[in-house]
Amino acid sequence: MDETNEIMENSSVTELQEKPESVWKSMWDSLKKNKAAMVSLVFIGILVLIAIVTAIFPGILPHDPYKQDLTKAFVSPNSEYWFGTDQLGRDIFSRIMIGTRVSLSVGVIAVAVALTFGILLGSLAGYIGGWVDTLIMRIMDIMLSIPSILLAIAFMAALGQGIDKAIIAISLVSIPEYARIVRGEILSVKQNDYVQAAKVIGNKDSRIVFHHILPNVSSSIIVRATLGISSAILDASALGFLGLGVQPPAAEWGDMLGRARNYILMAPYSMIFPGLAISLSVLAFNLLGDGLRDALDPKSRQN
pLDDT digits (tens, 9 = 90+) for 73-87: 898 999 989 999 998
- Residues 70/120, Cβ–Cβ less than 8 Å: no
Number of domains observed in the structure of the chain:
1
Domain-embedded: residue 12: no
Which pTM does this prediction carry? 0.84
Q: What are phi and psi of 265, to 5 degrees?
A: -85, -35
Q: Which pLDDT score is estimated for 91?
A: 93
Q: Residue 153 and residue 9: Cα distance in Å, rounded?
A: 57
CB neighbour class for 275 (10 Å; exposed up to 12, middle 13-18, buried from 19): middle
Domain-embedded: residue 153: yes
Domain-embedded: residue 124: yes
Domain-embedded: residue 163: yes
Q: Which pLDDT score is estimated for 8?
A: 41
Domain-embedded: residue 285: yes
Q: What is the DSSP letter of 69?
A: -
Sites in the chain below the pLDDT cut of 50? 1-20
Instruction: Name the CA radius of gyration of the chain, rounded.
Output: 24
Q: Which pLDDT score is estimated for 3?
A: 45
Domain-embedded: residue 64: no
Q: Which pLDDT score is estimated for 17?
A: 45
Q: Residue 269 and residue 247: Cα distance in Å, rounded?
A: 22
Domain-embedded: residue 264: yes
- In 129-266, where does DSSP find H-type helix? 130-144, 148-159, 163-189, 193-200, 205-207, 218-241, 253-260
- Residues 65/79, Cβ–Cβ less than 8 Å: no
Q: What is the CATH number of the domain that holds 164?
A: 1.10.3720.10
Q: What is the domain extent for residue 124?
A: 22-47+95-302
Domain-embedded: residue 80: no
Nearest to 182 by CA among 254, 255, 130, 133: 133
